[in-house]
């Protein structure tokens, strides 16, 4: 349950390793939105390629989907990418 953050000029890249949990995603989201650079970014890339286990329930996924949807409505030029 580890994450790494790399801020770029126009965006941020977040890399995850190990077990992915709802709490970790919320922790990362709070970390990013609490940073002063967040207001000026154009994109986020969330890299899940080194995740070994996903421990997120359907009930956990619903608020995450709502957060992503509201972010895309708030800023039309904003992109959230994941792989």
Phi, psi (rounded to 5 degrees) for 72: -70, -30
Q: How far apart are CA 25 and CA 6, in angstroms?
A: 16
- The domain locations on the chain are 2-82
79-82 and 43-55 beta bridge pairing = parallel
pTM: 0.77
Q: Residues 12-67: pLDDT tens digits?
A: 999 999 999 999 999 998 899 899 998 888 888 999 999 999 999 988 888 877 77
Per-residue pLDDT, 5: 97
- CATH of 2-82, picked from 3.30.750.24, 3.90.1150.10, 3.40.250.10, 3.30.70.1230, is 3.30.750.24
Per-residue pLDDT, 13: 95
Per-residue pLDDT, 19: 96
């Amino acid at each position: 349950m580890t994450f790494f953050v790399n801020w770029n000029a126009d965006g941020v890249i977040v890399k995850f390793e190990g077990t992915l949990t709802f709490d970790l995603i919320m922790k990362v989201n709070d970390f990013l939105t609490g940073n002063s650079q967040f207001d000026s970014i154009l994109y986020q890339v969330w890299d899940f390629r080194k995740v070994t286990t996903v421990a997120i329930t359907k009930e956990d996924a619903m608020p995450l989907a709502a957060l992503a949807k509201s972010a895309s409505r708030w800023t039309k030029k904003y992109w959230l990418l994941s792989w």
